[in-house]
Amino acid sequence: MGFWVECILFALLSLALQYVGGCDFFRGKWVPESDPSSYPVYNSATCPFIEREFNCEKNGRPDRNYLTYTWQPHDCNLARFDGEDLLRRLRGKKIMFVGDSLSRNQWQSLTCLLSTSVPNANYTIDRVDDVSTFTFMDSGVKVMLDRNVYLVDVVRENIGRVLKLDSIQSGKLWKGIDMLIFNTWHWWNRRGAAQPWDYIQVGNKTYKDMDRMAAFRMALTTWGGWVDSNIDPSKTMVFFQGISPSHYNGTDWNEPTAKTCQGQHQPLLGSTYPGGLPPAVAVLKAALSKIKKPITLLDITNLSLLRKDGHPSIYGLGGRTGMDCSHWCLPGVPDTWNQILYNIILNNKAMHS
Ligand SMILES: *[C@@H]1O[C@H](CO)[C@@H](O)[C@H](O)[C@H]1NC(C)=O
Ligand SMILES: *[C@@H]1O[C@H](CO)[C@@H](O)[C@H](O)[C@H]1NC(C)=O
Ligand SMILES: *[C@@H]1O[C@H](CO)[C@@H](O)[C@H](O)[C@H]1NC(C)=O
Ligand SMILES: *[C@@H]1O[C@H](CO)[C@@H](O)[C@H](O)[C@H]1NC(C)=O
């Protein structure tokens, strides 16, 4: 397909996605929370299962300003996240996040938001292979996480580990789920010891390596084919989490002396990010535009780009020796992703039945 045709499809798709309930939740700015006493809605004491990786406050992060911002869309107000209401709407249903550790970040945020909204909520957390399940016993809601960094398969064969861009066997785990929220991106640029495959296979051809953006595009096409042939939109809502940005280069936010996100204590105010969008966003949107079944993009890139202050930096898994400007502190930015997810559900007629 020609470049311009892709651009036009992309523009049409963006238009279609913009008007979720007449308002684009993803266009806006960060503003100080009007009622700081009610924020954040959870912490590591009220949500005791936050993993160390995201638990910035417990890991010693001293500043708290980053906890006091709320996302304000330009054209409407977001409803506050109401966990009790959401559990009622989702009674007996299964929600599954599928993706890498950014999915885990959002999954954990949602389980914290929901469990702290119900006093004395009874829940269980269990894990079978790559699937973690958080069950709210009283409403029968299951919030699940399938760790799957590429969505397409990595298979161990005689020659080594093969990343198969047109094979998606793990799709069998996603059947019968009421709401699916996919994500993949952060692992596509991994190289050396951090790269969990030795070859890439497309059709009958095997390669030692290839253009990573092209590989990402092919995998998304395979995944889109899975959605088109397996999803019944009357039963399952499908979301894509969107590209979650990292902050390792201060030039991108007009602070060239900053080599990482360490020491960033406040968001960019306003709505534009000087460094622009990561190129993966356009590839993702073009791939989504070719899928026939309805998919909602959680277009979280812009709002998250503005949050150079939201990452763990040295208050994450690696502590002082690590530098995490990819994941997000919890409580933090993924709570806003989930607040928007909640608002989309509120606007979706099918979910009211
Ligand atoms: C995100 O930012 C890009 C580049 O600045 C802009 O073109 C796009 O319209 C923005 N999208 C949203 C949803 O704000
Ligand atoms: C949790 O379970 C206990 C014991 O079954 C029950 O009394 C309590 O009401 C439950 N909590 C909620 C929030 O439903
Ligand atoms: C792949 O190889 C198999 C046999 O090895 C053959 O039957 C099939 O047609 C080939 N597919 C393509 C797309 O070349
Ligand atoms: C940061 O980004 C700027 C502009 O894209 C680039 O010139 C510079 O090399 C980057 N710095 C690092 C350390 O990657």
Ligand 3 atom closest to the CA of 203, numbered from 1: 13
**Which residue lies with its CA nearest to atom 1 of ligand 1?**
302
Q: Do residues 138 and 122 lie in contact, with contact meaning Cβ atoms separated by under 8 Å?
A: yes
Ligand 1 atom closest to the CA of 277, numbered from 1: 4
* Residue 156 confidence (pLDDT) above 50: yes
pLDDT for residue 307: 98
pLDDT for residue 349: 60
* Residue 177 confidence (pLDDT) above 80: yes
Beta bridge partners of 98: 146, 182
pLDDT for residue 15: 47
Question: How far apart, in whole angstroms, are the C-alpha atoms of residue 52 and residue 31?
Answer: 28
**Dist. CA 78 → ligand 1 center (Å):** 19
Q: How many helices (H) and strands (E) does the chain have?
A: 7, 13
pLDDT for residue 353: 39
Topology of domain 28-351 in CATH is Rossmann fold (3.40.50)
Banded pLDDT at 22 (limits 50, 70, 90): confident
Banded pLDDT at 154 (limits 50, 70, 90): very high
Give the model confidence (pLDDT) of 44-99 as tens digits.
Answer: 999 999 999 999 999 999 999 999 999 999 999 999 999 999 999 999 999 999 99
Nearest ligand for residue 121 CA? 2
Assess whether the previous peptide bond of 331 is cis (omega < 30° from 0): yes
**Which residue lies with its CA nearest to atom 4 of ligand 4?**
251
Burial tier of 243 (Cβ tally within 10 Å: 0-12, 13-18, 19+): buried
Ligand 4 atom closest to the CA of 252, numbered from 1: 2
> Measuring CA to CA, how many Å separate 198 from each of 165, 194, 208, 214?
13, 11, 7, 17
- Please state the rounded mean pLDDT for residues 3-28: 60
**Dist. CA 256 → ligand 4 center (Å):** 8
Nearest ligand for residue 205 CA? 3
Average pLDDT over the chain, rounded to whole? 93
What pTM value is reported for the model? 0.92
Could you tell me if the CB of 254 is within 6 A of ligand 4?
no
Question: How far apart, in whole angstroms, are the C-alpha atoms of residue 283 and residue 218?
Answer: 10
Give the model confidence (pLDDT) of 241-280 as tens digits.
Answer: 999 999 999 999 999 999 999 999 999 999 999 999 999 9
Could you tell me if the CB of 251 is within 6 A of ligand 4?
yes
Assess whether the previous peptide bond of 119 is cis (omega < 30° from 0): no
Write the DSSP symbol of residue 345.
H
Catalytic residues: 101, 324, 327
**Dist. CA 171 → ligand 4 center (Å):** 38
**Dist. CA 204 → ligand 3 center (Å):** 6
**Which residue lies with its CA nearest to atom 7 of ligand 4?**
251
> Within its chain, how far is the Cα of 308 from the centroid?
16
CA proximity to 246, closest of 322, 189, 184, 301: 301
- Alpha-helix residue ranges (DSSP H) falling in the chain: 3-18, 83-89, 101-117, 212-230, 280-289, 301-305, 333-347
Query: Residue 209: what are its φ and ψ, rounded to 5°?
Result: -165, 170
**Which residue lies with its CA nearest to atom 14 of ligand 1?**
27
SS3 state at 180: strand
The two three-digit tokens of residue 59, written as one number: 């890991």
**Which residue lies with its CA nearest to atom 4 of ligand 1?**
276
Could you tell me if the CB of 203 is within 6 A of ligand 3?
yes
**Which residue lies with its CA nearest to atom 10 of ligand 2?**
122
- Please state the rounded mean pLDDT for residues 183-189: 98
> When comparing pLDDT for 142 and 10, which is higher?
142
- Please state the rounded mean pLDDT for residues 180-202: 98
pLDDT for residue 18: 45
Lowest mean pLDDT among 136-140, 213-217, 348-352: 348-352
Ligand 2 atom closest to the CA of 138, numbered from 1: 14
Write the DSSP symbol of residue 76.
S
Give the model confidence (pLDDT) of 127-142 as tens digits.
Answer: 999 999 999 999 999 9
3-state helix, strand, coil in the chain (%, to 5): 35, 20, 45
- Please state the rounded mean pLDDT for residues 154-176: 97
* Residue 350 confidence (pLDDT) above 70: no
pLDDT for residue 81: 96
Nearest ligand for residue 138 CA? 2
**Dist. CA 119 → ligand 2 center (Å):** 9
**Dist. CA 350 → ligand 1 center (Å):** 29
* Residue 1 confidence (pLDDT) above 50: no
Instruction: Please list, residue by residue across 42-72, b when 16 or more beta carbons sit within 10 angstroms of its beta carbon and e when fewer do.
Output: bbbeebeebeebbbbbebebeeeebbebbbe
> When comparing pLDDT for 347 and 351, which is higher?
347
Ligand 4 atom closest to the CA of 249, numbered from 1: 1
**Which residue lies with its CA nearest to atom 5 of ligand 3?**
204
The two three-digit tokens of residue 70, written as one number: 């709320």
Query: Residue 43: what are its φ and ψ, rounded to 5°?
Result: -145, -175
**Dist. CA 14 → ligand 2 center (Å):** 44
Share of the chain above pLDDT 70, in %: 93
Give the model confidence (pLDDT) of 289-343 as tens digits.
Answer: 999 999 999 999 999 999 999 999 999 998 788 999 999 999 999 999 999 999 9
